[in-house]
Structure 1
Amino acid sequence: MSYYVQSAEAVTDPLFDFTGKVALVTGGSRGLGRTMALALAERGADLIVASRKVENCEAVAAQAASVGRRALGVSCHAGRWDQIEALVERAYDSFGKVDILINNAGMSPLAPSSLETEERLVDAVLALNFKGPFRLSALVGSRMAAGDGGAIINVSSLGAVRPNAQIAAYASAKAALNALTRAHAAEFAPKVRVNAILPGSFRTDVAQHWPADKEARTPAAMRRFGEPDEAVTAALYLASDRSSFTTGTLVRVDGGWP
């Protein structure tokens, strides 16, 4: 089974039409970010795809361009403020605006215990999962609020509300991202809506490194992992005017974890 959209194809969607909108997606070259980015492009959005490997970003941008979208791939470490600032300047120089920001870039390393977790690992996890979205949302959200508004979607994690010892640093960073979602929803209102998606376990490239029996042991009501496409509608809803009265909300897409 393929885990990813293999090619972008323009679609007519009566609910979600993003014609004339510009979307910026971090971590947009693979996994949930890639699927969300292409779903927006398929429905009319021009696209800025950012991640550390520019060739992967350009490949996704090429798919978006193949259905008539303006698209740009940019190398950016989403945990480093200097690179974030450069990304924002390039986005506005190239497109003049950003209507949709998806903070998807993240990392979720396991650790045997908190005692054995090194400071540099905690710093790296916080930088990518919290400090980066904080700065990127501040830069883009303030411009949205001063202009025509927009939507910000933070991709958090079920781990933020269902933490365990092996992901203590990651879960804490994502919990901070949840708090930031609500804080920015208040700060940038009423023109900007800020929401978060909390995915459970999905079949992305990361899942290939999980234990073979992890899916069989999931406590989710659906008794399986999710496919990336199953998170798309939540993203489309939160990015669109269909969610015009939804802000500061944490949407769980986790297959029904208890």
Structure 2
Amino acid sequence: MGNLFDLTGKVAVVTGASSGLGADAALAYAEAGADVAVLARRAEKINGVKEEIEKLGRKSIAVACDVTNEESVKVAIQTVLDTFGHIDILMNNAGVAVRGGVDSMTEEDWDKSFNTNVKGIFFVSKYVVPQMKERGYGKIVNIASVNAVIADKNDMFIRHSYNASKSAVLGLTKGMACSYARYGITVNAIGPALFETEMTQGTLFKSEQFLQGYSAMNPAGRPGKKGELNGTVLYLSSDASSYVQGQFIIVDGGGAIV
């Protein structure tokens, strides 16, 4: 059967690729043989990721893109298509985690979560899916969160808009999966738990009390390590998952087991 995880000849697009899980995934795609377009708001950050991909012998472009702005997304995806000719894999990774409960957060905070975490997937997919349908092939991986199905128990880290927006990602994933399966496109979601990334370093990883509590409650006894999401990403982005559709794979060390 050959190497089902081989991505040679494929073109991948990763949003929110400037750091953390997105940057890790972009490099994993390149190591598996894909050429990779990295998209994020911070051009200087994604240029560094682009250079790392090129060191692996793969082609890459860094495209500044604000996933909450439709025109920015439209221009970015057209740039990718003009460069590579097609897109095989889309990883919708761009996301934000805004702290606060419904009794304390502002409308602006609420909208920030949904604009990035949900509308961002809508905008990017809107301009990627048509050419996937035309070619009869595509792999879409939406990054949700384990917090789509479980809530934060520690009052210090309540994130109601994050819970709600990541749950919405699951609904969108299922709808897209049903609609596009007939075109040879698979759409699935991943639910990471706590990983040390740029997003979490400044908040969750600063609290030793939180980390101790998290580790004590998690069957694995620790947060996720760098690279531990990549296997699931490559599985859902490759022909190894050709008959997997509309699923949500949680990568959390067992914390969501019921």
When normalised by structure 1's length, the TM-score is: 0.91
Contact 1:145–1:189, Cα closer than 8 Å, also in 2: no
State whether structure 2 residue 187 is matched by structure 1 residue 194: yes
Which residue of 2 is the match for residue 3 of structure 1? none
The aligned residue for residue 252 of structure 2 is 254
In the alignment, which residue of structure 2 is the partner of 1:78?
67
Partner of 2:90: 101
State whether structure 2 residue 220 is matched by structure 1 residue 215.
Answer: no
1:154 maps onto 2:158 in alignment: no
1: distance between equivalents of 2:69 and 2:208?
34
Residue 169 (structure 2) pairs with residue 177 (structure 1): yes
Aligned-residue offset at 1:148: 3.3
Q: Secondary structure at the match of 2:208?
A: coil
1-structure distance, mates of 2:74, 2:127: 8
CA contact (8 A) 1:18 1:240 kept: yes
Q: Which residue of 2 aligns with 1:59?
A: 48
- Length, aligned pairs only: 245
Q: Amino acid of the residue matched to residue 199 of structure 2?
A: V
Shift of 1:189: 1.2
CA displacement, residues 118-153 of structure 1 (integer Å, 9 cap, x when unaligned):
111111110100001012112212220121311000
Q: Which residue of 1 aligns with 2:196?
A: 203
SS across alignment from 2:219: coil
Give the Cα–Cα distance (whole angstroms) in 1 for the partners of residues 193 and 19 of structure 2.
17
Q: C-alpha displacement at 1:15, in angstroms? A: 4.2
TM superposition score normalised by structure 2: 0.91
Aligned residue identity for 2:161: A
Q: CA deviation at 1:215?
A: 2.1
1:30 is displaced (CA, Å) by 0.6
**Are the aligned partners of 1:142 and 1:188 in contact in 2 as well (CA < 8 Å)?**
no
Q: Distance in 2 between matches of 1:64 and 1:19?
A: 14
- AA partner of residue 150 (structure 1): G
Letter in 2 for 1:233: G
5+ residue gaps, structure 1, are 1-12
Q: Deviations over 1:13-34 (max 9, x none)?
A: 9442111100000011210111
Show the 5 A alignment for 1:119-158.
119-158=107-146
Distance 1:195 1:156 in 2: 10
Match of 1:110 in 2: 99
| Distance in structure 1 (CA, Å) of the matches to 2:151 and 2:75 | 34
Matched, 1:26 2:15: yes
Secondary structure at 2:181 match in 1:
coil
In the alignment, the residues of structure 1 paired with residue 121 and residue 85 of structure 2 have an alpha-carbon distance, to the nearest angstrom, of 21
Matching of residue 237 in structure 1 with residue 230 in structure 2: no
Q: CA deviation at 1:188?
A: 1.1
Structure 2: gaps (5+ residues): none
- In the other structure, the counterpart of 1:47 is 36
Please tell me the residue identity of whatever aligns with 1:195: N
Partners of 2:68 and 2:123 within 8 A in 1:
no
Instruction: State the Cα distance separating 1:95 from its structure 2 match.
Output: 0.7
AA at the equivalent of 2:192? P
Question: Which has the larger share of helix?
Answer: 2
Partners of 1:20 and 1:148 in 2: CA distance = 16
Q: Percent identity?
A: 35
Conserved? CA contact 2:4–2:239, under 8 Å: no
Distance in 1, Cα, partners of 2:151 & 2:71:
31
